[in-house]
């Protein structure tokens, strides 16, 4: 069977095509500890890309509440159930089946190739969302999990007994994209220059194999045009060095756009000494940001900083091994023990530009795009403290900083 190297799983995985990494790989980091589900990202994307007839149900960017929210309905749970149980080895190797392995298809047999069978979705774990599945983008919003809670409850524990968190989602522009791997035309391709996954809408014949094969459900059918459509990574902006719409408009400043290397090619330089690739630094050096459901086997390129108040067993199922260490690193950053990370996270949302390198310059973090400085922020925000009681105004202040 064809094999491709998936570093997120620590092994080779099955895929219908030979592996071919792009020159640069479009990538992102989302800090889930800062997302407030304001949906500004969703509206920025919706009003830019999916406001036409046939796109009413489309959200190339959506924000859902975990553990109970999902759009389309049950997108992750249903695919995980179809894949069957999978375990991670002590060395971080995934020992279960991926979506291309779960059905025991011999992908090396030419008769099983997606362009021959025209029915690759039957050979891949997953499901085809119907109209009802797409009707409820706010399903489960703000629904809590865990113990019951009283109005006077106070949490001192590091992991809260009552919890939920917000999960913003876009296309992951996977290294081994299921949408591209299943298309019988094929009308879906991965750009060599930046790894963005695109649908050639003029070639699309509406087989809807991609709609079922993509486990993240980010290839979406347009019934008015009889084609499938998906997030384009705002490549029209990133080609000019600018961050995508959902990144630029994020009020919580949780998003970082750049380009990532595989581990063996990762930038291992020290941002205290010289400009460093921020995606490589967060994902490879610090191992702080994790891929979403890496066990699907597609090597997704959007990475998430896990929320520090949710149970780690749930987070491990969602982001794979290493969640406990990532949470410890994040807490250390908040305590001031990781100045490089603190500086980089202060750069998030501080500029409309993509950040391809950053460094620490004294007490400031500096962001660069292709060698040009595009952002500079203080690592520690300046504060001033006022007197609690203002004698001139004869009033007490509640907020003195």
CATH number at residue 10: 3.30.70.20
* 358 domain residue, yes or no: no
Asked, for residue 130, whether it belongs to a domain, the answer is: yes
Which residues have CB under 8 Å from 386's CB, separation 6+? Answer: 397, 400, 401
Smallest CA-to-CA distance from 17 within 99, 83, 94, 115 is with: 115
Q: How many domains does the chain have?
A: 1
- Positive or negative torsion for Cα 118, 223, 77, 132: negative
Does residue 394 belong to any structural domain of this protein?
no
pLDDT in tens, 156-169: 777 778 899 999 99
* Cα 375 from Cα 366, distance rounded (Å): 6
Could you tell me whether strands 11-14 and 227-230 are parallel, antiparallel, or unpaired per DSSP bridges?
unpaired
The per-residue pLDDT for 110 is 86
In this structure, are residues 79 and 128 in contact, taking their beta carbons and an 8 Å threshold? Answer: no
In a domain? residue 268: yes
Cα–Cα distance, 105 to 123 (Å, whole number): 6
Model pLDDT, residue 326: 98
Taking the alpha carbons of 170, 126, 199, 291 in that order, is the dihedral positive or negative?
Answer: positive
C-beta of residue 288 within 8 angstroms of C-beta of residue 16: no
- Report the distance separating Cα 155 and Cα 242, nearest Å: 41
Nearest CA among 325, 34, 329, 311 for reference residue 157: 311
Q: Dump pLDDT digits (tens) for 133-145.
A: 999 999 999 999 9
Residue 85 CA to residue 401 CA, distance in Å, equals: 51
* Residue 221, domain member (yes or no): yes
DSSP 353: B
The strand pair at 302-305 and 25-31 is best described as: parallel
Residue 60 has what pLDDT? 98
Nearest to 342 by CA among 369, 377, 313, 310: 377
* 193 assigned to some structural domain: yes
Specify the pLDDT at position 152: 64
Vertex 314: Cα angle to 292 and 126 (nearest 5): 50
Asked whether residue 112 is domain-assigned, the answer is: yes
The whole-angstrom separation of Cα 365 and Cα 188 is 39
The pLDDT score that the predictor gives to residue 322 is: 96
> Angle CA(245)–CA(138)–CA(175) in degrees, nearest 5?
50
| Closest listed residue to residue 87, CA positions, set 21, 162, 10, 161 | 10
Q: What would the DSSP string read from start to end of 263-292? A: GGG-----TTTS-B-HHHIIIIIS---EES
Q: How much is the pTM?
A: 0.94
The answer as to whether 209 is a domain residue is: yes
Instruction: Quote the domain boundaries for residue 251.
Output: 3-317
pLDDT tens-place string over residues 300-353 = 999 999 999 999 999 999 999 999 999 999 999 999 999 999 999 999 999 999
Distance CA 299, CA 6 (A): 6
Mean pLDDT by 10 residues, the chain (401 residues): 90 93 97 97 97 97 97 96 93 96 89 83 91 94 84 71 94 97 95 98 96 97 98 98 98 97 97 98 98 98 96 96 97 96 96 97 97 96 88 87 83
What are the pLDDT digits (tens) for 219-256? 999 999 999 999 999 999 999 999 999 999 999 999 99
Residue 146 to residue 64: CA distance in whole angstroms: 18
Task: Please name the residue ranges forming H helices in 147-229.
Answer: 178-182, 209-213
DSSP state of 134: G
3-state secondary structure of 169: strand
């Amino acid at each position: 069977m064809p094999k491709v190297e998936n570093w997120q799983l620590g092994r080779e995985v099955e895929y219908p095509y030979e592996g071919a990494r792009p020159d640069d790989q479009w990538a992102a980091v989302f800090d889930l500890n800062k997302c407030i589900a304001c949906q500004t990202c969703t509206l920025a994307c919706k009003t830019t890309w999916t406001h036409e007839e046939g796109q009413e149900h489309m959200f190339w960017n959506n924000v859902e509440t975990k553990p109970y929210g999902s759009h389309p309905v049950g997108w992750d749970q249903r695919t995980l159930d179809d894949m069957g149980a999978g375990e991670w080895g002590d060395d971080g190797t995934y020992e279960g089946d991926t979506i291309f392995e779960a059905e025991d298809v011999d992908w090396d047999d030419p008769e099983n190739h997606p362009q021959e069978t025209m029915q690759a979705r039957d050979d891949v774990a997953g499901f085809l969302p119907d109209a009802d599945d797409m009707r409820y983008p706010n399903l489960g919003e703000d629904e809590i999990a865990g113990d019951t809670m009283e109005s006077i409850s106070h949490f001192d524990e590091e992991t809260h007994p009552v919890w939920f968190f917000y999960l913003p989602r876009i296309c992951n522009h996977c290294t081994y994209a299921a949408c591209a791997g299943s298309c019988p035309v094929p009308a879906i391709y991965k750009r060599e220059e930046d790894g963005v996954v695109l649908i050639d809408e003029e070639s699309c014949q509406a087989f809807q194999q991609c709609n079922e094969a993509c486990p993240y459900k980010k290839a979406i059918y347009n019934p008015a045009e009889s084609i499938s459509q998906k997030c384009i990574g705002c490549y029209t902006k990133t080609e000019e060095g600018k961050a995508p719409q959902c990144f630029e408009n994020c009020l919580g400043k949780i998003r970082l756009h750049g380009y990532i290397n595989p581990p063996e090619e990762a930038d291992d330089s020290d941002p205290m000494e010289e400009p460093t690739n921020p995606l490589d630094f967060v994902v490879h050096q610090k191992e702080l940001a994790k891929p979403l459901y890496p066990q699907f086997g597609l090597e997704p390129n959007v990475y998430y900083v896990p929320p520090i108040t949710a149970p780690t067993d749930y987070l491990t199922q969602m982001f794979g091994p290493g969640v406990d260490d990532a949470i410890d690193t994040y807490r250390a950053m908040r305590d001031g023990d990781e100045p490089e990370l603190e500086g980089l996270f202060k750069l998030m949302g501080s500029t409309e530009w993509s950040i391809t390198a950053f460094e620490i310059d004294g007490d400031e973090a500096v962001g660069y795009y292709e060698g040009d400085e595009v952002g500079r922020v203080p690592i520690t925000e300046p504060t001033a403290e006022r007197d609690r009681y203002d004698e001139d105004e004869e009033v007490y202040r509640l907020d003195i900083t």
